[in-house]
Amino acid sequence: MSAQTVGGLKEFKFQTKLEAKCEEMMQTCQLEILAERSPINNEQQKWTLKASAEMVMPENVENNEEFNEEEENNLYSCKANCYWGNDDDRSKQTINVRINGEQSMFRGGMEQRMNKKLKRRTAFINKFNCEAKYTNLKPTTRNVFERVLELVKSKYFWNTKSQLIDSSRGGNPANGEAYLNIVIDPITQKHANMTVKTPEQLIRFQQIELPIQMRPFPLLRQQNVHQNIQSFGQFLTRQEVESRAECSVDGQTVETFDEREYRSPLSTNCYSVLAKDCGASYMGEFLDLLF
């Protein structure tokens, strides 16, 4: 992708190149990004960004019987490196990130009574540990990250606890490390606990509400999805499909799309209404029946 301005006092160009490669089973992927732009303000040389990432995806199986929570293949791993700056900079700004994901085991009173159901629902990567090491970060760059962190703290003000870290030992603030730990609630998939540690402070977010329902990297395949993945687009589509809400009927028990469960006396002699259009129009457009 590229862009260029014309007709001005000074020509400006920007271009970026993204290349992604995955092996056939989509277990490992590589991503490379190259971006360049013309100098602006008082810059003398063009600005360049180079980034690369390698990811190892967890394996997923077809049914509950094949699934083993202790398997080492139920892990997600990613390492990414990024550096940017002007060509005349002696030292580029650099960030190296390492991410490890795993399934945080669910323990609860319903586990024995609803073992299969819970195992399928909670079988996804919901715990992520991130480590970021940075060097030569300019004050403007550090200020952007600090403002974003303060914005998140203000959004979840009532769910946040923070404490300052003694930084009297000094050191170069342009170099340092930051850590992030996030655990997604495997049941609601809409809440999470998060811990952020920077050289200046330690912040804990308790039971924050996520903007969307999150179920990354399912470990059990959906039973009605059997086609092989032939492209990265199909991989993203499958990830979206596998995280959709479901309505299930088992005997006299109904679990709705919004994850509510109730017992319904389903008739054996006629049709039973499972769902219907409740829109503003008096003429409903659909009706789901079970015979």
Q: Encode pLDDT of 119-170 as tens digits.
A: 777 888 899 999 999 999 999 999 999 999 999 999 999 999 999 987 665 6
Q: At 196, phi and psi to the nearest 5?
A: -125, 130
One domain, residues 277 and 147: no
Helix (H) or strand (E) holding 239, with range, is helix 232-242
One domain, residues 82 and 120: yes
The DSSP bridge pattern shows strands 253-255 and 191-197 to be: unpaired
At 271 the pLDDT is 57
At 74 the pLDDT is 78
One domain, residues 238 and 253: no
Task: Give me the residues paired with residue 77 across strands.
Answer: 56, 100
One domain, residues 192 and 108: yes
- In which domain, by residue range, is 289 found? 245-291
At 112 the pLDDT is 47
- Number of domains comprising the chain: 2
One domain, residues 53 and 191: yes
One domain, residues 191 and 239: yes
Give the strand order in the sheet containing 176-184.
Answer: 2-5, 12-22, 28-37, 47-56, 76-86, 93-102, 127-135, 176-184, 191-197, 201-209, 160-164
Where the chain has pLDDT below 50, the residues are: 109-113, 225-226
pLDDT in tens, 94-133: 999 999 999 886 555 444 445 677 777 788 889 999 999 9
One domain, residues 195 and 249: no
What are the structure tokens assigned to 160, written together? Answer: 């946040």
